[in-house]
Amino acid sequence: MAPVKADVTAVRSEMAAKIDMAVTKLEFKIEDSINVAKQEMIEHMDKKFGEYIDHVDAVFGEIKTSREEQSALAQHSQDHSDRLDDHEKRIGKLETGVGGRV
């Protein structure tokens, strides 16, 4: 009966070794699948983030252009106000001079 028990123990050891090897192979396959999925996700996120940054850059470019135009228009408006004030002074002097002579 001892030989049968030894055979059973040997078979059990062999089966345990095969199961351990199969589990290890499965773990590597799962790890590889996870790494591939992670890499695909990272690439997708990089692409989407790049698209987002492109859109944000475009919006900021429009804001910058708008501010520059606003600044130029404010300066132009100030120039007109200065000219208008100058015209009013000159007209006032003319009216005072004409009014004083007549």
Grade residue 102 by pLDDT with cuts at 50, 70 and 90.
Answer: very low
What's the mean pLDDT when you consider all of the chain?
89
Instruction: Choose between 47 and 92: higher pLDDT.
Output: 47
Q: What is the pLDDT of residue 87?
A: 84
Residue 2 has pLDDT above 90, yes or no: no
Residue 101 has pLDDT above 80, yes or no: no
Model confidence over 57-66: pLDDT tens digits? 999 999 999 9
Distance CA 61, CA 67 (A): 10
Helix (H, G, I), strand (E, B) or coil at 67: helix
From the number of C-beta atoms within 10 Å of its C-beta (0-12, 13-18, 19+), residue 24 rates as exposed
Name the DSSP class of 95: H
Q: Look at the pTM and tell me if it is higher than 0.85.
A: no
